[in-house]
Structures are given as structure tokens and as C-alpha cells.
Chains A and B, each alone.
Chain A
Amino acid sequence: MRLGMFFREALRSIRANAAISVAATVTALIAVFILGAFIPSFMYVRSAVSAQTSKVDVDVYISDTASVKQVNALRDKIGTLKTDGQVAEFTYVSKDDALRLMRERLRDPSVLDQLPSNPLPAKFNIQPTDPANANAIVAAVKDDAALDPTEGIVYPQTTADRLLTAAKFVQWAGFALIGILLVAAVLLIGNTIRLSIFARRREVEVMRLVGATNWFIRWPFMIEGVICGLVGAVVAVAMLWGIKVGVVDAWASGADTALTKSGSTAGAIAFPLLTVVLVGAGALLGAVGSGITLRRFLRI
């Protein structure tokens, strides 16, 4: 009964202050739209970076002259690193395996038939638990007797380092930006609602005069804020949906670029979830914005 009355009061005040209500709604729309465009972009970049990062592996090539004993010793060394938790997985790739893989990769495998003998060395392919461990792994095995003197150890050090830096940067910059956006949105909506309350300062005064408690006055304003936030969020989500279907999906299916391949779709946020998050954010923005702003007007 009370909630119904507060709701009717909120609708009345939206109608009575149409211009300000529209302003608040548009503010929410812009805030949610920016947030909604930014969150998937951020998630995409992050998943692209982490997809690249997981590809950083270390190849330890084994000399053709190494004895079985030496190779077993190296295997044990890497096994110890795995027990320590630095290595996630490692596999032995024999000379034959290496040749077979090469054969699969080549468009015309017949060229390999020309070879008098198998020139490819055997290797251990090591996947670090974290790309940051790569250097430690390399340091642990680099002086091993079984190592191939010419090939040695191959791993994309600079790529790994750059990716690590990029991943950290993307993460922190992303969170910072989302935080700033949220604060800005709350301030913007609060400011718009302040206009609305300022326009009705006398009305609030009268309400207090007839003995309305602060919450009795506050509820309709909060509901008003939530309605504006929700409507803004829904429109923003609709616009984002249009952009996703019309632009992003078309681009992703049409172009076969490195970027679309590297960003896993699993890492990107699902649209229904994004919708829920954004609509929730819109409602919260409206409620918090009006709640904070009202406090100033309800003192005595």
C-alpha cells in the first residue's frame, strides 16, 4: 500500500518535472552507454592479452649426441620444476615426432623426403604455470649437458615480457576507468536530481511542515531516480545491442583478422549478463544519486 503510494508520488513528480526527468534519464543513458561500450572492450582486450600470454612456452632442444641418461636427468630436472609449481605441463617431443609435426605443418611435405636424415632435434616443450616463471625455468635448465649446443633454449622472451606488462596495464587501467566512469555518472545524476529537488525545495519544505518523516519524503525521490536510471539504462542497452548486431558482429564474421582470432569469445562478456549488469548499474546510479543529494535538503 505504502510502496504503491510512493510509486504514484514518484510518477507524479516525473510528470510534473518532465524536463528535469528527461535530463536525468539522458544522463543515465550516457553514463550507462559509455560503461556498456567500455566493459566489453575491456574484457575483449583482456582476454586477447591472456590468450597470447598462455601461448608463451619454452622449448628446450636436446643435442643429438646426448645420452639417454642425460635426457632422463633433464626430464627429472623439469619434473622437479613441475612439483615446485613453476611448470604447468611439459611434453617430450622426439626427433620423429618433430619431423611428423613438421610434415603436418607444411603444405608440400614431399620436400622433407629429399632430406638424407632427420635434421630436427628432440625437445621438451614446457608450459609455465605463469609466463612470469619463464625466466626462472630457463635459468634452471640452461646449463644442462643434454642441451643442443646450437638451438639451446627457445622462448619468446620479449613477447612474454611485453605481454605481461600489457596485461597488467590493461587490467589496472580498465578498473581505474570503470571506477572513474561510475563516480562521474553518480555525480552527474546526483547533480541533475539536485536540480529537480532545488526546483521543489518549497514543496519539500511544505512536506516537512505537515510532519512528513525524511524517509517519507525520500522514497518517492529515490524511486524517481531509479525509474530515470532504469529507462536510461534500457535505452542505452538497446543502442548497444544495435551497435553489436549491426557493427561488431558483422565485422567479426566478415574479417578474419588476427585480432578477432586472438580474442576468445569465451573471455568476452555475454550480452544478457552485460544487460543485467548495466540495467542494475542504471538503477543503482539513480538511487544513490538521489539518495546522496537529498541528504542536504532534509536537514531540519
Chain B
Amino acid sequence: MARIDDDIHHADSTQRAFTLVEVRPEPVPADLAVVTPPSSEKRRRGDVFRPGPGPMVQFQGVIKRYDGDVRGLDGVSVSIAAGEFVFLVGQSGSGKSTFIRLCIRELRATSGHVIIGGRDLGELRRSKVPYLRRAIGCVFQDFRLLPDRTASENVAYALQVTGHSRQEVNRRVPEILALVGLDGKGDRLPRELSGGEQQRVSIARALVNQPRLLIADEPTGNLDPDTSQGIMDLLTRINRTGTTVLVATHDRDTVDRMQQRVIALHKGRIVRDAEGGYNEDPGDTGEIA
């Protein structure tokens, strides 16, 4: 709890919040919540998607074919442990988006198994998909905010969906907005915010239900380098609270700078899976660049 107050305290100055990242504070326990945990949630049995022990994301021989024999993924097996920070890289058409859309059951695998938090999504009933999505935070290149709602209302919607009381929504939304560095901008509409700020709103929305897995599809694709840096720092900070973060990107500079685990896709296959930069050995995987 002390840690939470700390975060909120620092967040009123965005810059200071980010110095936290650079000095690398001591690691926090993996299950520490980003904001105050929900207290008055009414949940019916079976409505909650709780990740079990074991890998957070697991692909076992996943093949995804689209109509006309177009291959999205062509036999991908990979495992991402809870708490990892992973980059998914590759050119457009390499299968990054397919990978991500499979994780949130926007798509279903043609064959193989997609296992999230120990649950095989192939066996997940359609009516349970919303509960899966609440357990995963999603951030996209185009932000995907509701255009006629303010920043606060956008974040609040994700809380309303999970059945939180109005008091709880009113309490948690400002907290989380402060956390992503949007203190005092809650009343702005998305179009009144800069690209970076909009992306922060969408990250706030992704975080507000305290997901154990955060997936970002080209989160910096529409942003300039400085703003991108800020977003990546924010994602790093979120990862440090124990949230598994999976970022699909083709932003070479960002990946090189972060030096994290990199899974490289090419034509629907994994061509490299190692820690380091975007492309450590150009001779080995030259076709990706």
C-alpha cells in the first residue's frame, strides 16, 4: 500500500515519475496491485478469469490460416513466463498482429493451442471471452478510445464493465490517471489530447482492472521518438509491479534501447527468441530488417 501512495505521489510530476524508472528501485512483489484493489465487486461464479500458475502465455504449434490460404502464423511454439517483459518484432505481415489477436481471442487458432494463464482459449466458451479480456489489458497503435467520452469516462467504462460501484469508479479513475501522468486531464476528450496523452489514457484503461497480462500492439507506432520513450518507460514501470508485458513493435530503436527478451517473427514463424536488441546478428536474420 505504501508503494501505491508513493506512485500516486510521484505521478503528479510526470518527469519525476519517470526518474523512478531510471534509478531502478528495488523489485516489488509480483502480485502487488498497481492501484487499490477492488472492494465491493459483485462477481458471479465462473465470471472471473484468473491466471493459474505456470507460463502466462503459451503457444503450442499454433497455426492460423486466413481465407484463401493466407498464413498468419505457421507453427508457432513459445512460452512467456509471468512477470516477463517481451518484445514481439517483425515486419508488417510477419504475424505479430495475428499473435496478439489470438491472445485476446479476437481470432481462434486453426490448429495448435493458445494457452493464457493456464487456460486453453480453444476451449473457452464464447460467452466467457469478455472475462478473458478483462484479465488482459490491451493497448493499440490507434489507441481505440471512445471518441465522445472524456479521458476519465474512457477509463471508467472499463470499470463499469466489471460491475464496480460508482463510488469505486470515482475513486480509482483519478488514481490511475495520475499514475500514467495525466493528472488533471481527466475532463479532456480524446481529440483534445496529444497522441502520447491518448496512449496514456488507453494504458490507464488497460491497467484499471489490474490485469496480470498487458498486451500492446505497436503502442508507439503513431508517436514521435520522445513520446514513445515516455510510453515505453511507463510500460516498464508497469512490468516492474509484476504485470507480464508483451509489446509488438517494429520500432528498432526502442527495442535496441530496452535490451529485453525479443521474439522475432518472419512469415508466421519464430526466427529468433533471445534477449538483446531488435536484430543482434544481421547475418543470421537479415530478412527481418
Residues of A within 8 A of B (CB): 1-2, 5, 12, 16, 202-203, 205-214, 216, 300
Contact = CB atoms under 8 A, between A and B. Distances in A.
Interface stretch (B58-66, B82-90, B109-117, B161-169): B161-169
Contacts of A202: 144
Interface string B147-181: 11000000001101111011000000000000000
Interface footprint category on B: 20 to 34
A212 B161 contact: yes
B158 A211 contact: yes
Contacts of A208: 130, 133
Interface string B122-153: 00001101111111001000001111100000
A207 B157 contact: yes
B162 A211 contact: yes
Contacts of B106: 300
Contacts of A16: 148
Given A209-B133, A300-B126, A216 B144 contact: no
Contacts of B146: 203, 206-207
Given A211-B131, A300-B106, A206 B144 contact: yes
B145 A206 contact: yes
Contacts, number: 53
19 contacts: A16-B148, A205-B144, A206-B144, A206-B145, A207-B146, A208-B133, A209-B133, A209-B144, A210-B133, A211-B130, A211-B133, A212-B130, A212-B161, A213-B127, A213-B130, A213-B161, A214-B130, A216-B130, A300-B106
Interface of B: 104, 106, 126-127, 129-135, 138, 144-148, 157-158, 160-163, 165-166, 205, 209
Given A1-B166, A300-B106, A300-B126, A211 B148 contact: no
Contact of A210 (B129, B148, B158, B165): B158
Query: Ordered nearest first, which 6 A-B pairs have the shortest CB separation?
Result: A211-B134, A211-B133, A210-B158, A212-B161, A211-B130, A213-B130
For the residues of B in contact with A, the DSSP-based class is: helix
Contact of B138 (A207, A209, A213, A216): A209
A208 B162 CA distance: 12
Nearest to A13: B148
B248 to A, nearest CB: 16
A210 B166 contact: no
B144 A211 contact: no
Nearest to A210: B158
A240 to B, nearest CB: 36
Contacts of B205: 210
Contacts of B147: 203
Contacts of A1: 165-166
Nearest to B147: A203
B166 A216 contact: no
Contacts of A203: 146-147
B161 A207 contact: yes
A213 B49 CA distance: 14
Contacts of A2: 163
A2 to B, nearest CB: 8
Contacts of B166: 1, 5
Contacts of B129: 300
B101 to A, nearest CB: 11
